[in-house]
Amino acid sequence: MLAFKLAIKNLIGAGLRTWLNVFVLSLALVMIVFQSGIIHGWDVQARIDTTEWAIGGGEYWHDNYDPYDPLTLDDGHGLLPPELSGLYNDGQAAPVLVTQASVYPEGRMRNIILKGIDPDQKIIKLPSSQMAGDTSVINALIGTRMANATKLNKDDLVAVRWRDENGTFDATEIRIAGIFRTNVPEIDNNQIWIPLDRLRKITGLEDNATYVILKQGITSIPTVPGWIFKDRDSLLSDIESIIKAKSIGGIVMYIILLSLALLAVFDTQVLSIFRREKEIGTYIALGMTRWQVVRLFTVEGAMHSVLSIFAAAIWGTPLLFLVAKYGFAMPKATEGYGLTIAEKIFPVYALGTIIVMTLIILITTTIVSFIPSRKIAGMNPTEALRGKVQ
């Protein structure tokens, strides 16, 4: 208790030197909480967005379908089995047919993925209803990434060429009926959505589907021969892996930030012991044991972290709260990363992370304070009293 009292007095008495260290430590703490909040917030948002825009409550994939292998698209479809068409008819599922195609925006050929989905579906957020209406032309829907890549605008007509089920090339013009904005690139990049019945008709794949998206909250998952069910977690595993990789990168950043702050504390402690030798000698002359003085200096160093936690709470809490409320705008370039990243990320601060980081800062500061303070135990008090450098 005495060490705490004295340490606080000494720290406050040290003035600017203390507050500089406290600020640097609190900055590290706030930055670490902020960064982990961003990663956590990104994780939460990416999961929500991907679920709402792309995968719903899970997907049934045709046995031969592999989204990472375009060569499987020729065979990766089949007749919608009765179990799944039942779900479709009940509004519990949305079948999607996928095929390869080429478009010719501004006369340049571009290989794309053509996807067919029911314009009336309500399973995912894709604004498919924009494809309904005028049937004299095929109404298509593209995302902003695809629109930027192809320079296509709403109501533009663009030639599209595909192979039907017999491998015969066919082509027509489609009209861009709508351009949607989403954080989920997997339904946007290099893709054109058209009504399912039109795609089925032009490819001759009547009643076929490549995969079927289930409505969120469906609990009864039938086993369908020839189709593999992918639950939400397995469909989100890619995002999870990417975020995990980012989290590891974040940990490296935390270590760098914390090391810099701890270096400042260590430096202060070394300087403090060097400059306060006479004071150390006085403490010993007045009856403190050497280890009491070591404890005093260690507590003094460690108190930097306690003060920094208070400082971080004072200036960091409102700042972190504001960012959590208004979001953190991500740079425009992140749109092209192929990851689900919102334009604005709303950080989610985990109490566990804050507690763990606070404890880490407390423990590491105590350790870096103790290391130089050990020197006191070996000091000759008579030399210290004279302020002689030892």
Partner 1 sequence: MKNTEIISVNSLTKRFPMGLGEFTALNGIDLTITKGEFSGVVGPSGSGKTTLLNIIGLLDNPTDGDAVILGSSSRALSVREAAILRRKHLGFIFQTYNLLPVYTVFENAEFPLLLLKMTAGERKRAVLDALEWVGLSDKVGSKPAQLSGGECQRVAIARAMVKRPEIVLADEPTANLDAENSHHILRTMLKLNEDLKTTFLFATHDDKVISYLKRKITLIDGKVSRDETIIR
Q: Residues interacting with partner 1, by CB under 8 A? A: 2, 5-6, 9-10, 12-14, 278-279, 281-282, 284-290, 292, 380-382, 385
Using alpha carbons, select from 389, 373, 384, 369 the residue that is nearest to residue 291.
373
Residue 216 vs 292, nearer CB to partner 1 = 292
Shortest gap between Cβ of 287 and partner 1 (angstroms)? 2
Report d(CA 234, CA 182) in Å as an integer. Answer: 21
Q: In angstroms, what CA-CA distances link 371 with 135, 189, 200, 275, 374?
A: 78, 55, 73, 17, 6
Shortest gap between Cβ of 51 and partner 1 (angstroms)? 58
Shortest gap between Cβ of 289 and partner 1 (angstroms)? 4
Shortest gap between Cβ of 281 and partner 1 (angstroms)? 7
Residue 272 vs 366, nearer CB to partner 1 = 272
List, in order, residues 6 or more apart from 318 with CB less than 8 Å away. Answer: none
Joined together, the tokens standing for residue 249 give 């990168």
Asked if 98 and 69 touch (Cβ cutoff 8 Å), the reply is no
Residue 19 vs 104, nearer CB to partner 1 = 19
Residue 135 vs 382, nearer CB to partner 1 = 382
Shortest gap between Cβ of 19 and partner 1 (angstroms)? 14
Report d(CA 312, CA 318) in Å as an integer. Answer: 10
Shortest gap between Cβ of 9 and partner 1 (angstroms)? 6
The helix (H) or strand (E) run that includes residue 162 is strand 157-163
Shortest gap between Cβ of 17 and partner 1 (angstroms)? 11
Residue 107 vs 287, nearer CB to partner 1 = 287
Residue 9 vs 181, nearer CB to partner 1 = 9
Asked if 279 and 297 touch (Cβ cutoff 8 Å), the reply is no
Amino acid present at 66: D
Residue 144 vs 380, nearer CB to partner 1 = 380
List, in order, residues 6 or more apart from 383 with CB less than 8 Å away. Answer: 277, 281, 390
Quote the distance between the C-alpha of residue 368 and its chain's center.
33
Residue 142 vs 280, nearer CB to partner 1 = 280
Report d(CA 315, CA 190) in Å as an integer. Answer: 45
Residue 292 vs 353, nearer CB to partner 1 = 292
What is the length of the chain?
390
Shortest gap between Cβ of 338 and partner 1 (angstroms)? 58
Asked if 290 and 284 touch (Cβ cutoff 8 Å), the reply is yes
Report d(CA 55, CA 63) in Å as an integer. Answer: 17
The answer to whether the Cα torsion of 49, 53, 57, 59 is positive or negative is negative
Q: Any bridge partners for residue 99, and if so which?
A: 114
How many CA atoms within 13 Å lie on the side-chain side of 54?
22
Shortest gap between Cβ of 272 and partner 1 (angstroms)? 12
